[in-house]
Structure 1
Amino acid sequence: MAIDATLGNALNEQINKEIYSAYLYLTFADYYEDRGLKGFANWYMIQVEEELAHAKILRRYLLDNEYQVKMLAIAQPDKTFTNDMDPLIAAYEHEKYITASINECYTLAYEQHDFRTMQLLDWFVKEQGEEETNASDMIKNMELFGNDAKGLFELDREYQARAFTAPAMSM
């Protein structure tokens, strides 16, 4: 079944946003790497993989629904950081932006009674809930423990243990 052009365009733009997210999170990883916080850097490198996986899921879905995917230009991230909290706050704000974008895609699918796309987007809605919670938790952890060298060390070790697991979707 061919996907509606308006919805296809929105999903195609979402691919771009997911790839931009990966690009943005690379800058976060680089910041923490430069600071010697390899665990925080690892956390964001895993985020890079997740965002690219999201883009691939959307790409495959569009191709499977007879929509010609267009690779759009990726904007250069413009964030600068003055402390270890800055990337965490930027990540949380960015995840809220991505959630709003997914919700806009869902609204289009709902308005068009495109139940198959709604089913795909159900997974993304749940995923974004997890992403926002993780980002918020990282801020809270930094507020609680980040001002103490030992606490920051322990957080960094915790984040170093994170490993990438490819998303498993059943459609």
Structure 2
Amino acid sequence: MLSNKMEEALNAQINAEFWSAYLYLSMSAWCAREGKPGMAHWFEVQFQEEQDHARILFNYVLQRGGRVELQPIAEVPTKWQSELDVFEATLKHEQHVTSLINNLYALTHQENDYATQSMLKWFVDEQVEEEENATNIIDNLKMLNGNGYGLFMMDKDLAARVYTQAAPLAGKA
């Protein structure tokens, strides 16, 4: 059974994950409009992953006998200045999500909630990967320094990203 404090915190994180999904869908739309279909696709996959993250938490709250309380999703940005700007915003956002996950993990210690702590370990590891991916793309964009052919090739590379359902959801409807 979840404590009230943990249940509230997990519900807030569910909302944050859905907000992240909405943000990445907005970034996908921006990239598509800018003629970068590969980057748009990369963000579509990111959108799907964030929905998975919300569903993992959603399922977990229910599994522990808690109540899921979905809240409205706040407005997200819709405009960026450049490809570099959109990926720098991605990294900044992922760093924010890392801090949210870290705060949840710290709360599990305060609440002596070892089951939730165990579940959150997957998210802690996932955030390392999320930040690394964004950083690598930013580094490549900076190296290209606006080179059109390089951007074209990078866009093609990002188009090859394949959505893989998050492991904690494997085999679940």
Q: TM-score range by the shorter chain?
A: over 0.9
The alpha carbon displacement at 1:78 in A equals 2.9
Would you say the 8 A contact 2:30–2:78 is kept in 1? Answer: no
In 2, the alpha carbon distance for the partners of 1:20 and 1:148 equals 33
The alpha carbon displacement at 1:123 in A equals 0.3
Would you say the 8 A contact 1:146–1:152 is kept in 2? Answer: no
Worse overlay, 24-33 or 80-89: 80-89
2:155 equivalent in structure 1: 156
Aligned to 1:126, the other structure's residue is in SS state helix
Equivalent pairs counted in the alignment come to: 169
1:85 equivalent in structure 2: 84
Where does the alignment leave 5 or more consecutive residues of structure 1 unmatched?
A: none
Aligned-pair identity in percent equals 36
CA RMSD of aligned residues (A): 1.1
Structure 1 residue ranges, 4+ long, deviating more than 2 angstroms after superposition? none
Would you say the 8 A contact 1:28–1:87 is kept in 2? Answer: yes
2:133 equivalent in structure 1: 134
| Post-superposition CA distance 1:114-169 (Å, at most 9, x none) | 11101100000000000000111111011012511111011001100001000113
In 2, the alpha carbon distance for the partners of 1:150 and 1:45 equals 23
Amino acid at match of 1:34: R
1:36 equivalent in structure 2: 35
Q: Does 1:60 align with 2:48?
A: no
In 1, the alpha carbon distance for the partners of 2:145 and 2:43 equals 17
Aligned runs of 1:1-171 on 2, under 5 Å? 2-169=1-168
| Post-superposition CA distance 1:48-77 (Å, at most 9, x none) | 000000000000000001111001010011
The alpha carbon displacement at 1:79 in A equals 4.8
Aligned to 1:169, the other structure's residue is in SS state helix
In 1, the alpha carbon distance for the partners of 2:122 and 2:77 equals 29
Amino acid at match of 1:154: M
Where does the alignment leave 5 or more consecutive residues of structure 2 unmatched?
A: none
Using the size of structure 2 for normalisation, the TM-score is 0.95
Would you say the 8 A contact 1:50–1:164 is kept in 2? Answer: yes
